[in-house]
Amino acid sequence: MARRKKIYEGKAKILYEGPEPGTIVQYFKDDATAFNAEKKAVIEGKGVLNNRLSEFFMTGLGQIGVPNHFIKRLNMREQLVRTVEIVPLEIIVRNYAAGTMSKRLGIDEGTQLPRPIVEYCYKDDALGDPLVTEEHIAAFGWASQQDMDDILSLALRVNDFLSGVMLAVGIRLVDFKIEVGRVFDGDFQRLIVADEISPDSCRLWDMETGQKLDKDVFRRDLGDLKDAYTEVARRLGVMPKTAPVTKPTLIN
């Protein structure tokens, strides 16, 4: 058997060449990083949970007609996805102030925003993913005006979907990040949601207690990250069968 070719290794995932042209195998690692990889840890089982959760969100998005790269889950840690040409932007949607927005603008974390706010960061770890405006994006040719219209529409549709799914299980979607990529159909190209959607790239707060159920648990040393992600998976009914249940579930 030939060894498959590694295309790219990132902080939380490895990409391998897929079985057919135009496909990629996305492997979810257990590595957790924060503050541009200054803080690192291995959280056993995180990759398994994120593989399942990203599958769940991407499948749901597909069902409501939001195009994305997900094809199928292959095993506990891997999923088959479409090859895309990644647009070098981190697209952030915020419903409540938190994180860098709170710091930058002096708004208390948890303040509801008058409407969802979409921000763009240039994807460059060496620069720490700096915030950029549409002027930079157009001037440096990272995306066209048509792309930006499509990105905004995708981002807001993902926000409505994710907010609703989370609301149904008592979780507030504070903010999240997506990435988009280009796929080519003959002379045409279009943008689809790519990368992953998981608690690594969202802020998720319990609606009643305010408990954080996302990567801030790791960033801010608030407890066990695996427990937090397991709780999100449990509420959504996305528990991997072989993953150990770390806490008893209270049924009332």
Closest residue to ligand TYD using C-beta atoms? 99
Count of residues interacting with ligand TYD (CB under 6 A): 14
Query: Which member of 54, 68, 95, 201 binds ligand TYD (CB under 6 A)?
Result: 201
Q: Which of 62, 99, 116, 240 binds ligand TYD (CB under 6 A)?
A: 99
Minimum distance from residue 112 beta carbon to ligand TYD (Å): 16
Which of positions 66-95 make contact with ligand TYD (CB under 6 A)? 90, 92
Contacting residue, 120, 176, 205, 229, with ligand TYD by CB under 6 A: 176
Closer residue to ligand TYD in complex, CB, 1/105? 105
Task: Return the residues of window 124-163 that contact ligand TYD according to CB under 6 A.
Answer: 129
Interatomic CA distance for residues 90 and 61, integer angstroms: 19
Which residue, 18 or 204, is less far from ligand TYD as judged by CB? 204
Q: Does the footprint of ligand TYD cover residue 121 (CB under 6 A)? A: yes
Residues near ligand TYD (CB under 6 A): 90, 92, 98-101, 121, 129, 175-177, 201-203
